[in-house]
Amino acid sequence: MSRFTLPRDVYHGKGALEALKTFEGKRAIICTGGGSMKRGGFLQKVEAYLKEAGMEVELFEGIESDPSVETVMKGAEAMSKFQPDWIVAIGGGSPIDAAKAMWIKYEYPDTTFEDMCKVFGLPKLRTKAKFCAISSTSGTATEVTAFSIITDYQKGIKFPIADFEITPDVAIVDPELAHTMPKKLVAHTGMDAMTHAVEAYVSTANCDYTDPLAIHAIEMIMDNLVKSYNEDMDARDAMHNAQCLAGMAFSNALLGIVHSMAHKTGAVFADLGAHIIHGAANAMYLPKVVAFNAKDPTAKKRYGVIADYMHLGGSNDDEKVKLLIDYLRKMNDDLNIPHCIAHYGADGLPAEQGFVPENVFLERLHDIAANAILDACTGSNPRQPSQEEMEKLLKCCYYDTEVDF
Ligand SMILES: NC(=O)c1ccc[n+]([C@@H]2O[C@H](COP(=O)([O-])OP(=O)(O)OC[C@H]3O[C@@H](n4cnc5c(N)ncnc54)[C@H](O)[C@@H]3O)[C@@H](O)[C@H]2O)c1
Ligand SMILES: [Zn+2]
């Protein structure tokens, strides 16, 4: 038996934010990040609409990018005090993911972070509150997914919490929120969405329900991401929907080792002063993983189908895989994303000398590879890598060398 779960309601299109006026409840807590939503005037609108719906409203602000376990615990405490029956999270993937984890702790105060990370092991939520997610970036699709990514900074590792219990009740996909994104954020989150769609399509858990969503998302991202990056706002609107469709696909078909590697490299060099931003990590690793996975005959065929939908040409699957890899790399060039960790600057842009020195990378390689294999996203990858293969793959992602194994 398979399960396909989405939020009960997805309000989309310009003005979708106004759906908040129709919510029923007594108290709503709004969870948000560092200030971009306030600067854009969206936070004020959310607050006003919820008040118009007759609710008492409290704010939990300042959720950082790549949110920590500590932030989750703090937010849950605020919820315990306020006793909301609606949790409304607005912003990028970070504040929404943090709010999802806060929700678990709010409903079950004795739950530890370790408990939360047991894959598909959460108790029933919604005994205290329902959850609405409003996305302001066009990538993670956390507004429709069963995932939340929280970073344990003591271990330097991102842990995915995965359970349909945390699939939001309501998603609001209003493209106006995405208009204020700076170009680099458009690039990174857009390639995150592309990775979601491609990984979902070749995942071992793909099915007839997820395939059309993944393929249509890929076509839309191909047509719109670079245009959106170059400030075409109609394309930006289309990307907000495309990333959501990709999310509907991967929330049910799961992901693969591009994400395992991104989760385990994202914060592991934080002591050197920077993160490898999630979307940029995916963008760099995806072409390498396509080459690695294409050694699996089923995955190769599926990459061939993707290439066909993208009209890339090629007369056999080997040629199609090569054309797909070339296309993804060209997207990175068009979006000013580096091809490998060695050239990944502290600001996320291509640099002659990246912020992760070779010796530090090699010192940490064994552990990063071991942790990536253990990541919750590895299980549904079409090819299961050994420790040695994962280390080799990560080296290709560091040096931008060809994957021939
Ligand atoms: N839950 C999931 O299914 C899922 C999937 C993929 C990634 N993730 C996680 O999501 C996080 C990344 O989320 P993200 O890429 O959305 O970025 P983010 O939420 O970390 O935000 C990045 C920055 O962009 C700013 N920002 C957000 N929206 C903006 C807007 N409209 N205009 C101007 N600035 C804006 C934020 O204030 C922040 O400074 C990572 O922790 C990643 O691991 C989660
Ligand atoms: Zn992602």
Mean pLDDT by runs of 10 across the 405 residues of the chain is: 96 98 98 95 98 98 95 98 98 97 98 93 97 97 97 87 97 98 98 98 98 98 98 98 98 97 94 96 98 98 98 98 98 98 98 98 98 95 98 98 97
Q: Is the CB of 137 inside a 6 Å radius of any atom of ligand 1?
A: yes
Q: How many angstroms does the Cα of residue 5 sit away from the middle of ligand 2? A: 18
For the domain made up of 9-178, the CATH class stated in words is alpha beta
- Give nearest CA residue, ligand 1 atom 41: 66
Phi, psi of 240 (to 5 degrees): -65, -35
For ligand 1, whether the C-beta of 66 sits within 6 Å is yes
pLDDT at 70: 97
Residues of the chain with CATH 3.40.50.1970: 9-178
Residue closest by Cα to atom 19 of ligand 1: 92
- Where in the sequence of the chain do the CATH 1.20.1090.10 domains occur? 183-399
The predicted pLDDT at position 299 comes to 98
Which residues are within 8 A (CB) of 218 and not within 5 positions of it... i.e. 6 or more apart? 194, 197, 198, 201, 246, 306, 309, 310
> What angle in degrees, to the nearest 10, is found between the helix axes of 257-266 and 183-202?
140
Residue 142 confidence (pLDDT): 98
SS3 breakdown of the chain: % helix, strand, coil, rounded to 5? 55, 10, 35
Q: How far apart are CA 403 and CA 80, in angstroms?
A: 50
Looking at domain 183-399, what is its CATH homologous superfamily? Dehydroquinate synthase-like - alpha domain (1.20.1090.10)
Tokens of 358: 């070779």
Which residue from 31, 185, 255 has its CB within 8 A of the most atoms of ligand 1, so it is best to mutate?
185
pLDDT at 158: 83
Q: How far is the CA of 149 from the centre of ligand 2 (A)?
A: 9
Q: Would you give the distance in Å from CA 93 to the centre of its chain?
A: 7
This model's pTM is above 0.85? yes
